[in-house]
A and B are shown apart, each in its own frame.
Chain A
Amino acid sequence: MSVQNIIERLLSGDRRALARMVTLIENDVPQVQRYLAELHPHTGRAQIIGVTGAPGAGKSTLVTRLVREFRKQGRRVGVVAIDPSSPFSGGAILGDRIRMMELAGDPDVFIRSMASRGSLGGLAASTRDVVHALDAAGYDPIIIETVGTGQAEVEVMRTAQSVLVVVAPGMGDDIQAIKAGILEIADIFVVSKADKPGADQTVAELAMLLSLDSQRRKHAWRIPILRTSALKDQGLVELVNAVQEHQLHLAESGQLGERMQRQGRSELTMLIQQAVARALQTVVSEEEWQAFSEAIARRERDPYSIAQELEARIGLKP
């Protein structure tokens, strides 16, 4: 596949070209920024939906059912599902496809599993660029399923337009635990496994938490709390409608533009941070890093003046 070739093929909907592009993005090959630059004018069209929640909350099952609803509308759906990498071996078991089995074999559903590769925000470092590639290939909507999250993995809000936080009943005090962090990024709450006892209580607790939110502005989005049951096949139509309403709200209130600008800014900041990190890697050898670290540990030098010295070395200071 030549450069022009892979881009043309991706844009024309070739799944192999898209899959290879994702691999290139994931591994940050040197040419990839040039490819992404070429794809950029073709992005920004897809609705991007984030699905997050604790391990076992039912994210993969919910994503599967969502995809099924979107397929009924004839839409081509992209899914990016992230699972954690082992901090020891660097390997990963990516098992989200197990629950998405009913979608397998449908060429209009493109599912890509990603390992988090050490990122701590619930996504992999390159997830946003992978979403861009799916967007350019014409998938709409694109659903991002995060790793099982706790309190702090809020990165998905910087990539998705509508964030669904999935909460299973019977987690009791866990709702207390998630009331900071991921609870704050929800655009829609989904109480999954609503056929189980305790669902009403979970809904009530979430409603109570939302009522405490004093930040809510007058015309702000009213965060709905929806119940779904994959077992009884309930609540999915309502959920898809809520997602559509949220997207409409974003567009009409001007927030979609704001969100996209914020995301653009964070993308740019991240690229520059990466460029600085790369520049440092080329001008500072591993031995020198080691020497600096030792000097700091022995209190012979301080990290602040070393940082200034290095900033000067990569041309950030005269």
Chain B
Amino acid sequence: MSNSRPIRVLVAKPGLDGHDRGAKVIARALRDGGMEVIYTGIRQTPEMIVEAAIQEDVDAILMSILSGAHMALFPRIMELLKQNQIDDILVAAGGILPDEDIPAIQAMGIKGCFGPGTPTEQIIRFVQENIKPERLSIEV
């Protein structure tokens, strides 16, 4: 198959904060970058996020979290991805992530961490460059 198929991205908001302007800005920017973005709305549990990722067969999950619960929710999400054998999906996070947590977040397998003020072009490029090529050239 051609390598030109649109990248599918899940933009997810785990946790209880209800502020999704950042997530919407990212979703819009990725759309303008030619991607198909599935946005699921606020207050998603890890189970909801992973089930959506399975059904939508996404290439990347971008999570936005402002509540401070990332160290509780991210490990659960990564564990569920592994359990469901879809841990080849690119995962990145944004929102309010304290500097001292970043090494631990990256150690979980979350490849990118993007704080407030990150230019959207940088995130688009990150997604384009970090999705495993074998995902996009799907041979069964």
Contacts and interface: CB of A to CB of B under 8 A. Distances in A.
Interface of A: 1-3, 5-6, 15-16, 19-20, 22-24, 26-27, 29-31, 85-86, 88-95, 97-98, 101, 104-107, 110-113, 115, 117
B93 to A, nearest CB: 20
Contacts of B54: 15-16, 19
Contacts of A89: 31-34
A105 B1 contact: no
B30 A91 contact: yes
A107 B6 contact: no
Interface of B: 1-2, 5-6, 8, 27-28, 30-41, 44-45, 47-48, 51-52, 54-57, 84-86, 138, 140
Nearest to B59: A23
Contacts of A91: 6, 30-37
Contact of B138 (A5, A20, A95): A20
A3 B140 contact: yes
Contacts of A88: 32
Contact of A29 (B27, B30, B84, B138): B138
A257 to B, nearest CB: 32
B45 A105 contact: yes
A27 B5 contact: yes
Contact of B56 (A19, A107, A117): A19
Nearest to B53: A19
A112 B55 contact: yes
Contact of B38 (A2, A19, A101, A113): A113
A86 B57 contact: no
Nearest to A28: B1
Nearest to B49: A104
Contacts of B1: 24, 27, 29-30
Given A19-B56, A29-B138, A104-B52, A93 B86 contact: no
Given A19-B55, A93-B28, A105 B140 contact: no
Contact of A110 (B6, B28, B55): B55
A278 to B, nearest CB: 13
20 contacts: A1-B140, A3-B140, A15-B54, A16-B86, A20-B140, A24-B1, A26-B5, A85-B36, A89-B31, A91-B6, A91-B30, A92-B6, A92-B37, A94-B37, A98-B40, A104-B51, A104-B52, A105-B48, A113-B36, A117-B6
Contacts of A27: 1-2, 5, 138
B27 to A, nearest CB: 5
B25 to A, nearest CB: 12
B135 to A, nearest CB: 10
Interface of A is mostly: mixed
Q: Which of B37, B55, B84, B86 has the most CB of A within 10 A?
A: B55
Given A16-B84, A97-B39, A101-B40, A92 B31 contact: yes
A92 B52 contact: no
B58 to A, nearest CB: 9
B34 A90 contact: yes
A97 B30 contact: no
Given A1-B140, A24-B138, A24-B140, A93 B39 contact: yes
Contacts of B8: 23
Given A15-B55, A104-B52, A115 B140 contact: no
Those 9 A-B pairs whose CB atoms lie nearest each other, nearest first: A91-B31, A98-B41, A19-B57, A104-B48, A29-B1, A27-B5, A23-B57, A97-B40, A105-B48
Contacts of B28: 93
B77 to A, nearest CB: 13
